[in-house]
Structure 1
């Protein structure tokens, strides 16, 4: 409906207060999901920092002299004078006149006082101050300090009258730098820089993440309810057994997954029964969201609930329903029906009590062969024979096929895989079904929330995908890898 679409867009764009708990969860999710990349960033940042510190390291050597000021004989006055002299040393040292006189006092003319710098420290409340001469070259320090001791007293007299400066202490430069190079310190600093960078990247990830992580995220897209949260689960291992399919008819599937799928089918049945509906269209935004497996499991759940059920593979671009049962491309299917090579009853393949209409024997360039008249006839036939009809379609976020097939369905279930498609992509993909008021609700697949009380689960039993044109396939299984013993 148009009103809901406009309202949802406003909700989607409205700002929300920052939820630090969610940000922390997103940061932890980022660390879990991209830990290898972040580890590489950490190592690279640490290596660059260590290399920079190593290249920019310059040793610093220092020598210092401590003066006691005696002029008035009164401690407070002499202390104030010492403070004033301490603050003026650096200014005097920076003048050209002082530098020239200092240079003339140095016996070794190859030394350069300009490569040294001066710092002072005043002893609070006392008539003492310390002058420190520092340089990156060890040989400069002691000669410059010695020349300074010869020249400075005269300059102090010029600016403050007759001042008696008594040398209390003198410390010559050590061949060990004041800032000795430490590889450990550099490594620690590099590690800290890397950690700060990783923290900044994870926080940025959390701030810019606009995927669905929880049920409430979908409230920004549609006011329809969540049909079910399908947990991230795994197959139960069997000795010397590598075959696996995430089907509720498989005895090795985790109980929580089966319960979630049965719950989803039961809720859909309640929604559809109230409206006397039979045909459910299942789609998603992107490939790899588990749309086809959700379609198959909903059909299997309906069979377990005693419904006479048929599932149609409407994804003629990349038929995968028949592939799950091991007969894709080997039996007559939907493409053969549209090519007028088979009647409706001839394209139905039985797998236990479930009827399956696969993609058919024709492959490639079949997405435009759907005939409106023939599809109406097929759906009329199936409505008369079956209690529950599931149509699996291509991702609506990429292709218009789902929107085209929507007119043959009574309602639609939208599959959303947690933390995959962005809210904007979902909003665009789900819009046709909201506008036509055919959205029953959505299902969050591979969810890590709410269902955790059912048990622990690991990775999905999904096999890896091949290519879907330029996109990836949803499922890649072959007949030899089918678990025919426990499936259907």
Structure 2
């Protein structure tokens, strides 16, 4: 993954990354808010040695002696010999060991100084304990250094700096906590986004789809927020990006098989909700718009949507022909632009058997003889076996894949299912592709009709089909 790909991932999932970042900052602020302030008082001692007055040699020896011993003295500060009397004398509500954990002592190298720090939640108590620890520590050291039988110790510890009452707490460090929360939020957000991207096996770009299937991507259908109101592209005035995308699909499909163009084309998808019916309906409209005699057949006998989309009668259609109760001329309906539409008819109890029957083969052959192109909308491949039985009766197939929804495994299984039954898969259609808003020439974008156009440009119901006039159009990018 290069830097550009990584930045695209972050941009695509920026709401999640931002939420984790804000959560990290909030955690840092919360830690600061709930932590009890801790104050630190500091005192300093000087270690001196007794020497004969004016004796330079003894003075130098004493200095070296003090520097050699001062590191050991610092280790005595937090011992029970020091802390027990301090707890008792100050009547502290703690134990000597607990007090020792709040005391730190250090002796800078090449000096005879000892710095003592005491931390406490009460600033005044911290200063009092620091001074008491310094005094008690000086006595303990002098007692330890006094030789047996001697009256004075060779060293003497004097307090050079008494503890002052601290005014600013040393903990919590608000800036440090916020910085830590910010860093944790950034790293956590990046890690979560990368993890989700790794686990996400859906397609974000058409090139990945082509690489997996080995099939050309014949069409890229952009997401259009107006599609729920205008599912059919010719219901939208002007040249919307979605309409142009279906025209490109029509052109690419004509180039896909120059020598042997399929008359009967099956349009399917791996799972429901990928936009197969929307693709089939608008592809058929685009072909009819180009002057090609086209018939759209609704062969999704589980959850048919074509009749509702065009505002046509569904009760009589394909199933009526298959059971011999009517002929094609009796149930064929007229769609916009000269498009002929064969709706599904009544939903049967045995769709798989009907679609794989000899009667279905005869019906498709009859349609191929009447029309230059027959577009068949079928059921999804993976949930049911309807399309697997129907597909061999066609001369070609299109597989619709929805961006950011269809997984790689689903597409692999769908293409394998079509390959197994011997149908020629011409290519794929990448549907509902999110695109950046752009008004440039030849770019995808969302068509935004003028306010006075909304609700006025709906697909008219043909005069021959007034039985279902007023049926609302449905958006088939989410067809069932």
Q: RMSD of the alignment, in Å?
A: 3.6
The structure with the larger Rg is 2
CA contact (8 A) 1:228 1:260 kept: yes
- More deviation, 156-165/297-306: 156-165
TM-score (norm 1): 0.77
- More deviation, 426-435/169-178: 169-178
> Unpaired runs of 5+ in structure 2?
50-57, 147-152, 450-467, 475-480
CA contact (8 A) 2:231 2:473 kept: no
Match of 2:376? Answer: 391
Match of 1:30? Answer: 13
Q: Cα deviations across residues 34-63 of structure 1 (Å, max 9, x unaligned)?
A: x3x6666666665565545544x1222322
CA contact (8 A) 2:400 2:429 kept: yes
Match of 1:458? Answer: 446
Give, in whole Å, the separation in 2 of the partners of 1:111 and 1:263. 82
Give, in whole Å, the separation in 1 of the partners of 2:33 and 2:424. 65
Q: Cα deviations across residues 351-387 of structure 1 (Å, max 9, x unaligned)?
A: 1311101111x24645345151210110121111111
- Structure 1 counterpart SS, 2:235: coil
TM-score (norm 2): 0.78
CA gap 1:111/1:292 in 2 versus in 1, 3 angstroms: closer
How many pairs align? 434
Give, in whole Å, the separation in 2 of the partners of 1:320 and 1:169. 89
Give, in whole Å, the separation in 2 of the partners of 1:450 and 1:275. 37
Q: Deviation of residue 427 (structure 1)? A: 0.7
CA contact (8 A) 2:77 2:105 kept: no
Give, in whole Å, the separation in 2 of the partners of 1:88 and 1:365. 95
CA gap 1:81/1:202 in 2 versus in 1, 3 angstroms: farther
- Structure 2 counterpart SS, 1:25: helix
Give, in whole Å, the separation in 2 of the partners of 1:118 and 1:358. 87
Give, in whole Å, the separation in 2 of the partners of 1:442 and 1:98. 82
Q: Deviation of residue 311 (structure 1)? A: 0.9
Give, in whole Å, the separation in 2 of the partners of 1:315 and 1:460. 32
Q: Deviation of residue 262 (structure 1)? A: 1.4
Match of 2:42? Answer: 64
- Are positions 1:99 and 2:99 aligned together? no
CA contact (8 A) 1:233 1:254 kept: no
Match of 2:430? Answer: 444
- Are positions 1:344 and 2:328 aligned together? yes
Q: Deviation of residue 482 (structure 1)? A: 4.3
Give, in whole Å, the separation in 2 of the partners of 1:100 and 1:478. 96
CA contact (8 A) 1:63 1:141 kept: yes
Q: Deviation of residue 186 (structure 1)? A: 6.5
Match of 2:2? Answer: 19
Q: Deviation of residue 173 (structure 1)? A: 2.6
Match of 1:231? Answer: 222
CA contact (8 A) 1:433 1:439 kept: yes
Match of 2:297? Answer: 312
Q: Deviation of residue 65 (structure 1)? A: 1.2
Give, in whole Å, the separation in 2 of the partners of 1:442 and 1:174. 73
Give, in whole Å, the separation in 1 of the partners of 2:64 and 2:418. 86
What is the 5 A alignment of 1:62-461? 62-71=40-49, 73-74=59-60, 78=63, 81-82=66-67, 85-86=70-71, 88-89=73-74, 91-103=75-87, 106-108=89-91, 112-116=95-99, 117-123=102-108, 125-138=110-123, 140-157=125-142, 158=144, 162-174=154-166, 177-179=169-171, 193-235=184-226, 244-252=229-237, 254-329=239-314, 331-352=315-336, 353-360=338-345, 362-363=346-347, 365=349, 367-368=351-352, 370=354, 372-435=357-420, 436=422, 438-448=424-434, 454-458=442-446
CA gap 1:415/1:180 in 2 versus in 1, 3 angstroms: closer
- Structure 2 counterpart SS, 1:145: helix
Q: Deviation of residue 221 (structure 1)? A: 2.2
CA contact (8 A) 2:297 2:342 kept: yes
Q: Cα deviations across residues 414-450 of structure 1 (Å, max 9, x unaligned)?
A: 1111111111111112212233251111111233579
> Unpaired runs of 5+ in structure 1?
1-17, 237-242, 462-476, 484-488
CA gap 1:410/1:227 in 2 versus in 1, 3 angstroms: same
Give, in whole Å, the separation in 2 of the partners of 1:210 and 1:421. 8
Give, in whole Å, the separation in 2 of the partners of 1:354 and 1:66. 97
CA contact (8 A) 2:131 2:162 kept: no
CA gap 1:284/1:164 in 2 versus in 1, 3 angstroms: same
Give, in whole Å, the separation in 2 of the partners of 1:79 and 1:123. 14
CA contact (8 A) 1:231 1:260 kept: yes
